Structure 1
Amino acid sequence: MSLDPNDLLRRMMDAAIAAADPAQCLPPHLLPLARADHKGRTVVIGAGKAAASMASAVESLFAAEAPDCGLEGLVVTRYGHGCATTWIEVVEASHPVPDVAGRDAARRILDLVSGLGSEDRVIALISGGGSALLTLPMDGVSLEDKQAVNRDLLKSGATIHEMNAVRKHLSAIKGGRLAAAAAPAALHAFLISDVPGDDPDVIASGPTVADTSTLADAKAVLRKYAITPPESVAKALDDAANETPKPGDAVLGKAETVMAARPQASLEAAAEIARAAGVTPVILGDAIEGESRDVATVMAGIAAQVARHGQPAAAPCVLLSGGETTVTVRGDGRGGRNAEFLCAFAVTLKRRMPELADRIAALACDTDGIDGTEDNAGVLFVPGDLERAEMAGIDLVGHLENNDGYSAFAALDRLIVTGPTLTNVNDFRAVLIL
């Protein structure tokens, strides 16, 4: 059987992204709301990399089912991730480090839901990236201080659960505080998960749900990564009055949460593409975390087991995984966690199993279309690339040590550039063994 690794890997990636398209995953859940004979206000708010496309999907559904529905609202998304809407305003702001535009949008969103009555309803559209985009520091904490903590966390190697535990306790809107402000209006939250485990209180730092983390947890994260916070942040985390709403608290009001898209569904969509091509898919997990280079070493080892022993499946086989790896930044190179992953994967093949390099191809990308802060969604590695790198004088080990995976794959012409996909179910990795 003849397979084009490049083509198959790209088609699996496209299927994974399409499975999380808001136009496809929202309508079944929103249909009852669109058809309801509702007399109060319907306010749509949202935050995240998919916020604009989710708002557009809501407008299309309501326009078809209830043209005079009186939709109004505001969502905030990352710069470059907006799209056209009619009734719901879209504001763009900075990610991953918050800015003034995000702060002002968060304030307007909080004002929109405050003061609503029991006959009103709020539709909240929440997706990954909302933690940075929906930034409204609590009283006494400046935006600059919150930015400083955010930068330190991003460089530390902290997991998304750890970062969001801190973010929630420095925010006037996250960690369930948006839900508390919306009460007594009915709150319908629709989430696109970008976090391992699909925890609603971690996605965008859980603005619409009770918080299971505590002030003590937030302080423990800073200690763990030896982060010395600004004085205002330390003071806020020591103040018991700044604890977030917890499960069962009446202040949260009446809220419904629907998980509209999950990483697992995207992995299953990619698996279908593999099966149709005669390749056995093995889904290793949708919640894989850890240092990118460590995860890469493990994935390479599993790929070698497939190639050498036909376990856990015989070749041709593709190992599929999702989740969110991390990078502890030590160098000054370019690239996100997916470029780091695949650079480490290639280095592992070169060092430990070079005889298998011609049988293994791999792709790693962020489903939002942006890997870290660069302009690519991810990177690709196909048979022959180790030889091409050596002939071109590309030092993969040096690039890895400098956290410079982007430059290595740019030199190999293996960057995957999609532009913003307007959704986000986190990382997608596929390792193909021929």
Structure 2
Amino acid sequence: MTEETSGAPEGRLPNAHGPGARVPVAGWTDVAARAALRELFDTAVAAADPRSVLAGHLPEKPRSGRCVVVGGGKSAAVMAAALEDAWPDVDLRGTVVTRYGHGVPTRRIEVIEASHPVPDQNSERGARRLLRQVEDLTGDDLVIALISGGASALLAAPVAGLTLADKQVINRALLACGANIGEMNAVRKHLSAIKGGRLAAAAAPAKVVTLAISDVPGDDPAVIGSGPTVADASTFAEARGLLARYGIDAPAAVGKRLDRDDDETPKPGSLPEADFRMIATPMMALRAMAAKARTLGLTPLILGDALQGEAAQMGSVMAGIALSVRAHGQPLAPPAVLLSGGETTVTLSPRPAGKGGRNTTFLLGLAIALGGAAGIWAMAGDTDGIDGMDEIAGALLGPDTLGRAAAAGCEARAALAGHDSHGFFAAIGDLIVTGPTLTNVNDVRAILIA
């Protein structure tokens, strides 16, 4: 854990009185606490905006040869636009694939929009287009790969013998089974003609420079977007074991493919030395949130940027820490804010009754465990603006969340059991809706203790 305490100014957000200004605690009202939490979320998103961070990570401009730009992810289009702005005098060409609704105008780099989190025909078309863009390059050419969260679904080029439908089946099963992102990507790489270093292999002997926005716990380059430009240490045997562990009944063609131990992904040492540059990460966002918290009169504590586990259970654990801060001033004294990042999982029941994502499910678990404790508010949201499969970034909660929900006819435990966390927070007007943020450094969470 990293304690961020130095330089905290005196004072905090002014009290907000009037309609909705509930639960004043130690100078904080409900309105002030919620405003502070929303400001922290917006700070995290701004810290990962490619338009402000990409230019500082570019390599030397090419002096000869071609400059080919390829990429995939929810931020791919805005990264491409930022590259065009930074290099107006370089002859750029190439293609990037992003999520529907995440495209931005570009002048020289083609943008294809496709489906996420389950790939569609545009995902396959875009991936094949990237592979064609890097054909027949020489050692004088430069490839810039723009990779961000979502690239695994957005770049879907099934290997020979598989169809897009096969990959869609596996993707849906992996999303529902509770596997973490590293496990999901280990399977995806072994079904793909572009992931797991195969894009870099196709681009050889050109120099490949990858600019990445990390949305994965630990910032492992091989996991971000399933590592299309990074050598892969996972194996077919590992992929087979994961499907068995999670009880996934794969299509026959997938099972046959996963027996092809003779066609492994490029392994460490088999590709030219990678030039892989992180331009935004979860920890960068959390540090920006901590700095903002100090200006609001809060003592921040970063619990970690790579927390994983079942979302509701993590909510219960975080409630215990928050209650300790409130009651005992441990591990730090209030007014304080507990910050964390990472990617939890939600294991779906066979027939979920509602809709929900990692962040709202986390908040439901937190609310139940807090039981309406005074002086504690929280926010959880995905920095890409999408919690699960809905156009919802996350939500806010306060000491009165359970009471207001009950008055609206919503019971927290029933909503949790029915995987209807989105419906729960929608009923009390506490959803965070941003629209596409065009970046993605995974989930961020903040618990404010007054």
Fold match, TM over 0.5?
yes
Distance, in Å, in 1 between the alignment partners of 2:318 and 2:274 is 40
- Other structure's SS at 2:218 match: coil
1:281 pairs with 292, 296, 300, which one? 300
Distance, in Å, in 2 between the alignment partners of 1:33 and 1:72 is 17
- Other structure's SS at 2:287 match: helix
Contact 1:366–1:428 (CA under 8 A) maintained in structure 2:
yes
For the pair 1:60 / 2:81, whether they are aligned, the reply is no
Distance, in Å, in 2 between the alignment partners of 1:178 and 1:253 is 12
Q: Which amino acid aligns with 1:319?
A: L
Deviation at 1:204, TM superposition (A): 0.2
1:102 pairs with 105, 118, 123, which one? 123
Quote the residue 1:391 is aligned against: 407
1:135 pairs with 156, 162, 171, which one? 156
Q: Which amino acid aligns with 1:381?
A: L
- Other structure's SS at 2:232 match: coil
Deviation at 1:245, TM superposition (A): 0.5
- Other structure's SS at 1:26 match: helix
**1:220-267 Cα distance to aligned partner (Å, 9 max, x none):** 110110111111000111011231111101xx2353111111100100
Deviation at 1:82, TM superposition (A): 0.8
**1:313-341 Cα distance to aligned partner (Å, 9 max, x none):** 01111110000000001123111111111
For the pair 1:228 / 2:213, whether they are aligned, the reply is no
Structure 1 stretches of 4+ with a deviation exceeding 3 A read: none
Of the structure 1 ranges 188-197 and 390-399, higher mean CA displacement relative to structure 2 is found in: 390-399
Quote the residue 2:64 is aligned against: 39
For the pair 1:17 / 2:41, whether they are aligned, the reply is no
Quote the residue 1:307 is aligned against: 326
Distance, in Å, in 2 between the alignment partners of 1:241 and 1:56 is 40
For the pair 1:26 / 2:26, whether they are aligned, the reply is no
Distance, in Å, in 2 between the alignment partners of 1:232 and 1:387 is 52
Distance, in Å, in 2 between the alignment partners of 1:91 and 1:339 is 30
Deviation at 1:133, TM superposition (A): 0.3
For the pair 1:364 / 2:384, whether they are aligned, the reply is no
Quote the residue 1:247 is aligned against: 268
Quote the residue 2:280 is aligned against: 261
1:163 pairs with 181, 184, 202, which one? 184
Contact 1:55–1:125 (CA under 8 A) maintained in structure 2:
yes
- Other structure's SS at 2:217 match: coil
Gaps of 5+ in 1: none
Contact 1:179–1:255 (CA under 8 A) maintained in structure 2:
no
Q: Which amino acid aligns with 1:43?
A: V
Quote the residue 2:16 is aligned against: none
Contact 1:185–1:254 (CA under 8 A) maintained in structure 2:
no
Q: Which amino acid aligns with 1:432?
A: L
Q: Which structure features the higher share of helix residues?
A: 1
Counterpart mapping for 1:308-387 below 5 A: 308-330=327-349, 331-350=352-371, 354=372, 356=373, 358-387=374-403
Q: Which amino acid aligns with 1:124?
A: A
Deviation at 1:25, TM superposition (A): 1.7
Deviation at 1:28, TM superposition (A): 1.2
Count of residue pairs the alignment pairs up: 420
Deviation at 1:273, TM superposition (A): 1.1
1:410 pairs with 419, 423, 426, which one? 426
Percent identity over the alignment? 56
Deviation at 1:344, TM superposition (A): 1.4
Gaps of 5+ in 2: 1-25
Q: Which amino acid aligns with 2:394?
A: G
Contact 1:236–1:242 (CA under 8 A) maintained in structure 2:
no
Counterpart mapping for 1:48-197 below 5 A: 48-63=73-88, 67=89, 69-197=90-218
State the superposition RMSD in angstroms: 1.0
- Other structure's SS at 2:69 match: strand
TM-score (ref. length: structure 1): 0.95
Contact 1:145–1:232 (CA under 8 A) maintained in structure 2:
yes
Distance, in Å, in 1 between the alignment partners of 2:317 and 2:390 is 26
Distance, in Å, in 2 between the alignment partners of 1:41 and 1:255 is 19
For the pair 1:271 / 2:271, whether they are aligned, the reply is no
